[in-house]
Amino acid sequence: MPDYVVVDTEGNPLLKEIAVIDSSGILIFEAIVTNSSQSIKTGIRVQMLETVLNNFIKVIQNKILVFHYAEHDLKVLYYSFKAAGITPPKLTIRCTWELSKFYYPRMQSYSLEALSKFLHLKINGKRFNSSLAHRAKYDALFTHQLYQHLMKQSIITQLKSKPNPFVNNRVDTPFQQHPDWREIFEGEFHTLTTIVDEISQDSNHQSRGIIVIGEPGSGKTHLMMRLAREILDTNRLLYIRQPNNAEAVIFHTYSRILESLIQPVPSSSHTQLEHLLAHSFAKIIQSQHDSSGFSTQKDDKILQVIQKGPLKLFSGLAQAETKTRWSYWQHIEKRALEWWVANFSTAGYAPQILKGIVRFCSYSDSSRRQIVTQWLAMNDLPGEELERVKLSSWPEGMSREEVSLEAIKVLGCLSLLEKPLLIIFDQLEGLGLPHNARLLRSFGEAIKEILTHVPNSLVILNLFPERWQQFQQVFDGSVVDRISQSQIILRKPDSDSLKRLLNLRAETVGVNIDELFTALELNKILQADSIRAILNAASNVYRQKVQGIALPQIDTDVPSKIPTHSSAPPWQDFNERLERMEQLMSRIAEKLDIEVEAIEAVIIPEQQKIDHTDEVIFDLEPIEQADEVVALSLPSRSRVTYNSHTLKDYFSQQKARLTANFSQPQVLTDSDDVGKLETIIQFFQSTWQQLEITTLSLGKRVLPEHLVIATEKHQCVIGFLHLSGNSFFHRMKNYNELLSYHRELQFILCRDEMDYEITGYKGFQELEKFQNSANGQLVILDSEQRILFELIYQTTVDIQNRDLDTTADDAIPFILSETRHFWLWNCLN
């Protein structure tokens, strides 16, 4: 806001009194010209007027002048300048009388008294007193308060076309970009980076664990985002959301690791996997050259290229998709496999995994990369697709859990030549639910296997305090010791740091928090329990001011479990009750045509009065009725209940995010989808009576991943089968046989429109047989249905993880109404 001063003059037409208030509300100039009845030509008075006006000119230099009803003040000033023989300076003027007419067009009077009372303006805690009016200092102070309020209204008008700067406060993954005030959790962040350095410097490169403990919204994932920004140029950060299938925890972990590895590194055109391979291979080929003293022509060319930087491996060898480039990458693959055999073993599937990693990096064509990604995810692919990337099918019957552990070990071994891996497990709160007891035990065993077999890694678990206590009761003692070698506890930051964070957000729309919020509003915002709750509170007040949306209701009966550095005042504290009383007294005073101080003197003891010096409370719209009080309700010991508008906002934001990310490479697996399905069904169990979830078997023969869902009135089998080739044929044949034994059940098979088309004759025959059966139905998830599936699952997990502060009972009717065309509801009904 440009620097300004507020000026009030008294006189008619000659100046008698003048006062100037600076932009912070402080009196910086006040003068009274003698009231003598002598003629203007009297030397003493002319001299006094000249002195006052010259000093006034010095005070207002390079300032905007704010008046109330500027026409009158300028008439007095210009008349007095002429009388004193002074050339008037050029003035830049703003008038609160004119501005008030613009923002409040239906008022009967725009006098300073009428506006001050209408807007509940106060000086030193007292309302406008007409008996003190028409004194320059008194009027200037109220004009200053009025101008501040009008400027807030101006800012609000400008903000109507801008996004809410506080609304996108969820960090879903560490790869997102959000404003980050590094002062918050600076010590905790230093602890993380120190541990990473210690693993790197450890001659044994033994993996370690760390627990990051914090309540919902405390900033756990945000801290991981900062870590990603800081270290992705040198370290690989692998993000794993909550597993959902007890039979496939390590496979789930590996699949999510693949998704992280194909993420681009910020400020780079290359993926994490390319960074890992390039930096690792640069050391492999250099060490082979140094140890043998022998090199081929291809070795020499590769060494020459990587001298300019390891990432030049992807652009400096030859043009993309040429035979020359292919021959160089065949050589790189050969050297990488020689290194693996020399340092580790030829046993198992590790050499195959390493080969797949090199093959992924060798292609610049995105379609071939997608094929290799699906192959690395151990999906069975059509023969023609495998031929395009020169890879072989995975053997039928192999254990995906065992191969996944080998694959993660390969990544750990490659990182020995770069920097430690960071394996982050987040959104784990659902593991503590009673129906996930077996899944939690499997997760503990998976963590044990990773810490035992994967070198050079820091395994991070983000958890609520009570969940960590629960996990310790379930996990093996050795796992607890390894994973909790270090602990970081995130507590609520101090108010100054939080204010700076809010300002960082507000600055994205060109304002600061002092322009947006009153002191009382800001104080109540900062009383919220966590960083996310504070940002949500700021977002709610922003909505109220800018969009006129009512603040969410408060459930004051819900106790908070969130520890803070200091206890916040209770919700119905004395200050707030007194504020309500003051507003009520103001209205009574208006009706009785007396001053509010007369009522205060009777009902409020002197020692209980609160000094509101320089604190002005403005509402977006003045309060019209005596029994309505607009107040921000954000107690530290309460829970904001999400109304349908807030849920709609969440839904639209998450849907937009999923839609934007839909075109990015994904790793779809049957086990993950059936786990998502079970999570959703368990969440919606109150919708159906006598819900039961089981599975079917056909001896030792392999079936599509599936669930049998039985309610009081309906039973169905829902399976997922994203595979193709022989794996599809065998599973589909067994599924058809199972269907023939259970004619009483409705069988549903789900595939994705992005899955490979079934081109094999036998597989196609089995699929047609299924579709032509009386109780078989094929569901193809198009982009809309896939996004809805992911959206409902994410909403479920966010509620379980308390990232969305609402209950299943509140959310389920909303979700059902918003997703009435979702394929699952049709299947179950």
Rounded Cα distance, 678 and 672, in Å: 10
CB 538 within 8 A of CB 179: no
Rounded Cα distance, 20 and 6, in Å: 6
The candidate with the shortest Cα–Cα distance to 433, out of 685, 806, 787, is: 685
Of 130-134, 179-183, 357-361, highest mean pLDDT: 357-361
Confidence tier at 807 by pLDDT (50, 70, 90): confident
Estimate to the nearest angstrom the gap between the alpha carbon of 145 and the chain centroid. 36
Estimate to the nearest angstrom the gap between the alpha carbon of 319 and the chain centroid. 40
> Does the N-terminal peptide bond of residue 434 adopt cis geometry, omega within 30 degrees of 0?
no
Please state, for a pLDDT cut of 90, what percent of the chain lies above it: 66
CB 481 within 8 A of CB 210: no
SS3 427: coil
3-class DSSP string for 55-101: HHHHHCCCCEEEECCHHHHHHHHHHHHHHHCCCCCCCEEEEHHHHHH
pLDDT value for 620: 32
- 427-484 pLDDT per residue, tens: 999 999 999 999 999 999 999 999 999 999 999 999 999 999 999 999 999 899 999 9
Phi–psi pair at 172, nearest 5 degrees = -80, -40
In this structure, which amino acid lies at residue 276? L
In this structure, which amino acid lies at residue 682? Q
pLDDT at 603 > cutoff 60: no
Confidence tier at 725 by pLDDT (50, 70, 90): confident
The candidate with the shortest Cα–Cα distance to 495, out of 466, 456, 522, 516, is: 522
Rounded Cα distance, 52 and 37, in Å: 18
pLDDT value for 250: 97
The candidate with the shortest Cα–Cα distance to 236, out of 257, 209, 267, is: 257
pLDDT at 291 > cutoff 70: yes
pLDDT value for 90: 93
pLDDT value for 648: 84
* Span 289-302, average pLDDT: 85
Confidence tier at 587 by pLDDT (50, 70, 90): low
Q: Check residues 547 and 371 and name the one with the higher pLDDT.
A: 371
**Residues 626, 627, 628, 629: is their CA dihedral positive or negative?**
positive
Rounded Cα distance, 86 and 78, in Å: 9
* Span 235-256, average pLDDT: 95
Confidence tier at 266 by pLDDT (50, 70, 90): confident
pLDDT value for 198: 95
The candidate with the shortest Cα–Cα distance to 717, out of 698, 738, 690, 699, is: 738
pLDDT value for 690: 78
pLDDT value for 573: 46
pLDDT value for 157: 86
pLDDT at 594 > cutoff 80: no
Instruction: Tell me the CB-side half-sphere exposure of residue 32, using CA atoms within 13 A.
Output: 6
pLDDT value for 467: 94
* Token pair for 327: 């021959």
pLDDT value for 585: 61
Instruction: Tell me the CB-side half-sphere exposure of residue 727, using CA atoms within 13 A.
Output: 21
**Element at 4 (helix H, strand E):** strand 4-11
Weakest mean pLDDT among 247-251, 254-258, 467-471, 594-598 = 594-598
Those residues whose C-beta lies under 8 Å from the C-beta of residue 655, and which sit 6 or more positions away, are 787, 791
The candidate with the shortest Cα–Cα distance to 424, out of 265, 230, 227, 229, is: 227
Q: Check residues 655 and 645 and name the one with the higher pLDDT.
A: 655
pLDDT value for 167: 84
